[in-house]
Amino acid sequence: MIHLQKIRKSYPSETDSGLVLGFEDWQVESGGQVALIGESGSGKTTLLNLLSGLVSPDTGVVSIDGTDLAKLSEAQRDRFRADNIGYVFQSFHLLDGYSVKENVELGAVFAKKHAEPGRAEHLLEAVGLGHRLEHTPRQLSVGQQARVAFARALMNKPNLLLADEPTGSLDHENGRQVLDLLLSTARESGITVVCATHDMDVSAAFDSTVRVEDLK
Ligand SMILES: Nc1ncnc2c1ncn2[C@@H]1O[C@H](COP(=O)(O)OP(=O)(O)OP(=O)(O)O)[C@@H](O)[C@H]1O
Ligand SMILES: [Mg+2]
């Protein structure tokens, strides 16, 4: 379960306090699928970064499956993320010097549980890219790149999948397919999903929708 308490996160400037997030309490049940919506600049990416431990709150507790991220050293947080969290970044962050298969394998390099041989191929087949293993990301369409990013995020068998507008750069049909795949895979494996999106059609596919502004 995700549990955030008394959170404040600001990026102060000379002219204002820069408060981005400030709320009392927010929980997501294990296995829940939550869409995070809100205006551009409302703090969706910031909230996902807090959940992943990539960013720390000014004050408050971020607890993931009973682990208070602030109680971990930076190295332990990196380890925790590698073992428990999958992240689909908005711009995918695929590495062009590596093949599609290698990009997916990188998703488990730092994880404690060593991925069984063939897992990357298996995941890529599941996302419909079994025939593109040796291509580089640049040789793929944007929709295909989204599928690679998704496969990579699953490589370490995460308990929590964070996705930052994963369908933002896809046309409606491709976006739908990637989203259906993401939600059905997560549901089958009991993975908790928090997904930022601008798209109301997208958010309708989730169990619940949270408007970031309403958390304040
Ligand atoms: N590293 C940073 N330094 C200073 N300000 C930041 C930083 N990261 C985010 N912000 C500010 O925090 C606010 C929220 O940003 P965030 O990226 O979380 O919004 P968002 O809801 O994801 O927006 P979008 O829908 O455009 O992706 C913005 O006002 C932004 O300028
Ligand atoms: Mg964002």
Predicted confidence at residue 201, as pLDDT, reads 82
Q: At residue 212, does pLDDT exceed 70?
A: yes
pLDDT of residue 165: 92
Report residue 216's pLDDT band, with 50, 70 and 90 as the boundaries: low
Average pLDDT over residues 4-27: 95
Model pLDDT, residue 111: 83
Compute the average pLDDT of residues 118-135: 94
For tokens 């995700």, the residue is 2
Nearest CA to ligand 1 atom 9: 46
Residues with CB under 5 A from ligand 2 (ion): 44-45
Domain segments of the chain as ranges: 2-11+32-215
Predicted confidence at residue 215, as pLDDT, reads 87
> Looking at residues 185-193, what average pLDDT do you find?
94
Q: How far is the CA of 198 from the centre of ligand 1 (A)?
A: 15
* Position in ligand 1 atom list of the atom nearest CA 55: 1
pTM of the model: 0.94
Candidate of 11, 47, 91 to mutate for ligand 1, largest count of ligand atoms within 8 Å of Cβ: 11
- For residue 26, is pLDDT > 90? yes
Q: What is the per-residue pLDDT for 60?
A: 97
Q: How far apart are CA 23 and CA 163, in angstroms?
A: 21
Question: Ligand 2 mean position to 171 CA, how many Å?
Answer: 19
H/E stretch holding 208: strand 208-211
Span 173-202, mean pLDDT? Answer: 90
> 165, 111, 160, 158: which is closest to 3 by C-alpha?
160
pLDDT tens for 94-120 read 999 999 999 999 998 888 777 788 999
DSSP track, 99-163 = -HHHHHHGGGTT-SSPPPTTHHHHHHHHTT-TT-TTS-GGGS-HHHHHHHHHHHHHTT--SEEEE
What is the average pLDDT score of the chain? 93
Specify the CATH number of the domain 2-11+32-215.
3.40.50.300
How far is CA 16 from each of CA 13, 36, 46, 179, rounded to the nearest angstrom?
5, 26, 18, 38
Question: Where does ligand 1 bind, in terms of residues with CB under 6 Å?
Answer: 11, 20, 38, 40-46
